[in-house]
Amino acid sequence: MTLSTRNVMVGLAAGLAVLALWASGMGTVIHVPGDYPTIQQGIDAAAGGDTVLVGDGVYTGPENKNLDFGGKALRVTSELGPAATAIDCENDGRGFYFHTGEDSLSVVEGFTIRNGYVGTLGGGIYCLGASPSIVRTVIIGCQSDAGGAIACESASPLIEGSTMSENDGGLNGGGALFCWQGSFPIVSNSILWGNMPDEIAVVNGNPAVRYSDVAGGRAGVGNIACDPLFVNVLAGDYSLSYDSPCLDSGDPLAGVPDGGGDRLDMGAFEHLIPYNDLALSFTNTPDSVAQGSRVSWDVSFTNPLSIPVTVDVWFDVSSQIRCAIIMEYRDVTVPPQTTHNRTLSLPVPNAAPLGQYTIHGRVGVMDMIDGGVYDAENFIVEILEGHALSYVESSSGLGYPQLEAGRTELEMGDVDGDGHPDIVSIGDHGSPYINTNEHGIMVWFGDGTGTWSVYQNGNFGYGGVALGDVNNDGLMDVGYAMHHNYSGNDFGDQLIEVALGDGTGQNWQPWDDGLATNGETWGMFGTDFADVDNDGDLDLVSNSFGAGSGVHVYLNQGDGTWVQSFGFLEGNSTDDIVFGDVNGDCNADFAAAHEYGTVYLGDGAGNYVLADGNLPPPGWVGRFGPDLGDVNNDGGDDLSY
């Protein structure tokens, strides 16, 4: 028997009518765990027409699985949806068992059912002679001998706006749905993807599938067979990516989308974020600024939704002769129906090339491959010639190095977020074990008037240092390589390390697994940050001091781990190494003070080749103090040493 189009539409209309009925507020609302500690106790206490409203959390144990409506016309729904509310069967039992003649007025809505396991039918839900409504439900990681997610025996449930993935239907199949004994379920606006050994298995019956994404394809109006592009299956996030083919692909007659768009999305999660409609705006933008000053402007963007939204925020500056230089890239969470306002300020170097620059802003989802979806804004500012420079010493509070003639690297940056530059180094030689009080990460906090106060943390040194935001949280972090790793704990026990800052400049959290694991045994020194592989994260390069430990480039994996992409041991060297863009291809190159060569060109993926060209030989310890900068304004950095 094949359902007619009319029968399907009647079934969908009935399902929508069910939701409208419950939304009208009929019956009593029973709260779990407020009124009853378990879901089954809430169901047992309810009468026909009641709603069992389940709070967020993960529900386990005997009375939170194998849930039985007992033939009642109830709505059992989560308060915050399937992303926040899970029934974990712990590989023993299923989520729901309908077997007492339940019809479409018995509704399950808004749960994630996971880790179900039975040796018979229906690892997630089993409908035996019952036809409930299963709405906005995610079923993942469930197993049975037939119907890993849902099994129907003489049953015709309505399955609306649901997601079934990573389920196993065993020998009889139907990883998502199994039908026999005259079962005619209606599946609409749903995703059946990545189940084993197949998505749907039918012994006797005929499921009507419409406006759904089914792996391998399925006949039916509006169906597709495309990777749904879940956000992160490994992390259990089955919501849809911004470029999912399931967006706006649901039944055009099935209701108004919650988050914009013309149609409902397929699956249990309605994609709520209108990334290209965040109303990014720049105001108070200057037409021109002078060398040695600052360019400042106001930024705002708005979250129009009734839920918080987390977006990528990207600002960069470029000119006709220079590739875009990223000023900021981080996540920002905006509260519901709120406008985010801030003022950005960018220092203009005294030697900045004159001319017009474009400052770009993007807010949304950035994608290094296809660009992403975002709202964008920009303005043009002209850099004018600055005034003649003069200097006044402002060293109050700074001290003299106690050992090694001050052989350490200094960086300046606003470590504590007070708007004033601070000075950062790692201690002169570095430890109380060497009879000096200068050790660890040393920060001289500036007050904006030329007065400094020092704070230090850790027992290690001496060496090189770099400042940057390695985890894109908007706070200044530090990378450093050291001559002596004296510390007996994770903070200072590696020759190369990265530590996350908390915005105070006083507390540092190691974030350095995988660094200095490629033969570095002694005396690492010069350190710098750049985005070597163009993935939006800062990577690290370090050069040894003396002999034997070489040059190493480590790629930031974004989770506190690092992987070497280029490096070598041996050879004599002095201290310094610096990133730049020598050939103007927008990939990070570097110059190192090393016997084997000075300039190395990057390919944007972490690989490097020596490119000393017609430079004279570097000498037995390399060129002292190399640095890179665009001397002749041709778009490529030049070398000084």
pLDDT at 521 > cutoff 90: no
- φ and ψ at 20, to 5 degrees? -65, -40
State the CATH number of the domain containing residue 66.
2.160.20.10
Domain identity same for 485 and 595: yes
Model confidence over 485-503: pLDDT tens digits? 777 788 888 999 999 999 9
Cα angle: 218, vertex 223, 226; to 5 degrees: 85
Nearest CA-CA partner of 265 in 189, 332, 200:
189
Please give the pLDDT value at position 7. 26
Domain identity same for 97 and 47: yes
**Long-range CB pairs of 447-450, under 8 A, 24+ apart, other chains included:** 447/420, 448/419, 448/420, 449/394, 450/392, 450/393, 450/394, 450/395, 450/396
pLDDT at 406 > cutoff 80: no
Domain identity same for 602 and 470: yes
Are 424 and 411 within 8 A, CB to CB?
A: yes
Please give the pLDDT value at position 374. 74
Please give the pLDDT value at position 324. 60
| 286 in a structural domain | yes
What stretches of 143-293 adopt beta strand conformation (E)? 150-153, 158-160, 163-165, 177-180, 186-188, 191-193, 200-202, 208-210, 213-214, 230-232, 237-240, 281-283, 288-290
Residue 638 to residues 286, 446, 599, 641: CA-CA distances in angstroms?
30, 32, 10, 10
pLDDT at 310 > cutoff 60: yes
| 305 in a structural domain | yes
Domain identity same for 376 and 433: no
Please give the pLDDT value at position 399. 75
Please give the pLDDT value at position 363. 85
Domain identity same for 605 and 480: yes
pLDDT at 619 > cutoff 90: no
Model confidence over 425-464: pLDDT tens digits? 987 655 555 667 778 899 999 998 889 999 989 888 788 8
State the CATH number of the domain containing residue 344.
2.60.40.10
Domain identity same for 468 and 355: no
Q: Is 609 helix (H, G, I), strand (E, B) or coil?
A: strand
Please give the pLDDT value at position 459. 81
Q: How many CA atoms lie within 13 A of 149 on its CB side?
A: 31
Domain identity same for 183 and 305: no
Q: Is 18 helix (H, G, I), strand (E, B) or coil?
A: helix
The strand pairing partners of 138, in sequence order, are: 112, 163
Region 130-150: mean pLDDT is: 97
Q: Containing domain of residue 432, as a range?
A: 410-640
Please give the pLDDT value at position 431. 54
Please give the pLDDT value at position 113. 98
Determine if the peptide bond prior to 126 is cis (ω within 30°): no
Beta carbons within 8 Å of 256's beta carbon, 6+ residues apart: none
| 49 in a structural domain | yes
| 348 in a structural domain | yes
Model confidence over 558-573: pLDDT tens digits? 999 999 999 999 888 8
Pairing of β 562-568 and β 572-580: unpaired
The identity of residue 603, as a single letter, is: D
pLDDT at 21 > cutoff 50: no
Domain identity same for 308 and 200: no
Region 148-169: mean pLDDT is: 98
Region 75-99: mean pLDDT is: 96
Work out the percent of the chain whose per-residue pLDDT is above 90: 54
H or E stretch at 607: none
Q: Give the chain's domain count.
A: 3
pLDDT at 46 > cutoff 90: yes
| 495 in a structural domain | yes
Domain identity same for 167 and 217: yes
pLDDT at 185 > cutoff 90: yes
Lowest mean pLDDT: which of 186-200, 231-245, 280-294, 578-592?
231-245
- φ and ψ at 406, to 5 degrees? 75, 25
Residue 492 to residues 92, 480, 587, 623: CA-CA distances in angstroms?
47, 10, 31, 29
Model confidence over 242-294: pLDDT tens digits? 778 998 899 988 776 655 556 889 999 887 666 666 788 999 999 999 988 88
Domain identity same for 370 and 484: no
End-to-end C-alpha distance for the chain, whole angstroms: 84
Q: Is 21 helix (H, G, I), strand (E, B) or coil?
A: helix
Residue 457 to residues 396, 441, 493: CA-CA distances in angstroms?
21, 5, 14
Q: Is 0.85 surpassed by the pTM of this model?
A: no
pLDDT at 16 > cutoff 60: no
Please give the pLDDT value at position 326. 63
| 313 in a structural domain | yes
pLDDT at 400 > cutoff 80: no
| 195 in a structural domain | yes
Binned at pLDDT 50, 70 and 90, residue 389 comes out as low
As a whole number of angstroms, the distance between CA 174 and CA 160 comes to: 18
Binned at pLDDT 50, 70 and 90, residue 4 comes out as very low
Helix and strand numbers, DSSP H then E, in the chain = 2, 49
Residue 474 to residues 72, 283, 541: CA-CA distances in angstroms?
53, 22, 22
- Write out the DSSP string of 452-476: EEEEEE-S-EEEEEEEE-TTSSSS-
In the predicted model, what is the mean pLDDT of the chain?
86
Domain identity same for 288 and 188: no
As a whole number of angstroms, the distance between CA 353 and CA 177 comes to: 65
- Site of tokens 């041709």: 634
Are 238 and 269 within 8 A, CB to CB?
A: yes
Of 350, 384, 418, which residue sits at a domain end?
Answer: 384
| 207 in a structural domain | yes
H or E stretch at 544: strand 539-544
As a whole number of angstroms, the distance between CA 499 and CA 497 comes to: 7
Model confidence over 321-379: pLDDT tens digits? 566 666 666 778 888 888 988 888 878 888 788 889 898 888 876 554 445 667 888 99
Q: Higher pLDDT residue, 299 or 38?
A: 38
Q: CA 199: distance to chain centroid?
A: 30
pLDDT at 580 > cutoff 50: yes
For residue 472, what are its two tokens?
A: 């894109």
Domain identity same for 619 and 472: yes
Please give the pLDDT value at position 327. 66
Region 87-112: mean pLDDT is: 97
Please give the pLDDT value at position 313. 82
